[in-house]
Amino acid sequence: MSIEPELRDELLAAVPSLRAFAISLCGKVDRADDLVQDTLMRALANIHRFQRGTNLNAWLFTILRNLFHSEFRKRKREVEDPDGNYAANLVSRPEQGAHLDFEDFRTALAQLPDDQREALLLVGASGFSYEEAAEICECAVGTIKSRVNRARTRLAEMLDLNDESALGPDQMTRAALQQAAS
């Protein structure tokens, strides 16, 4: 990229003032130098937008100020973690296991007899009481309770849920989460 020598000289003459302004904004000389360099790079990349005859310093100072505020907003969302301790404590369970478990559940639910699936969905998923479900299905409350119980038992068998430890993350995921936490 070619720049007019007169404009180049004006840019270079503005550097000390830009640097002083940058130091006053961020308080660190090394960060201020980076900010001035970023400002000059942005100005050179957009020099075609500068209108000759207007105040070059005002244009440069505006760029510097906008860069500083953009970086400030960005850094506000960041957490300093030079030794990695904070990141090491951040743990999230893998999502694909839950998705696969849900697909297994949907498949097993579809295999239940219609009357059991209907009763289970009314009571378990939709939140109806046994009495309300019995009224909807036009049968006795005891029949709904029996259907829900048989549906739950059958789902547990199909999904191989023999005890409470079968719920939640599998053994390998639990071990990985414990390792990450220590």
Instruction: Please write the tens of the pLDDT for every residue from 8-30.
Output: 899 999 999 999 999 988 888 99
- Identify the pLDDT of residue 35: 94
- Identify the pLDDT of residue 39: 94
Please give the model's pTM, rounded to 2 decimal places.
Answer: 0.44
Alpha carbon 12 to chain centroid distance? 42
- Identify the pLDDT of residue 94: 67
Number of CB atoms found within 10 A of residue 156's CB: 14
Alpha carbon 37 to chain centroid distance? 32
| Residue 16 CB contacts under 8 Å (≥ 6 apart), including other chains | none
**Full set of structural domains in the chain with CATH:** 1-80 (1.10.1740.10), 95-181 (1.10.10.10)
- Identify the pLDDT of residue 84: 75
Residues in the chain predicted with pLDDT less than 50, given as ranges, are none
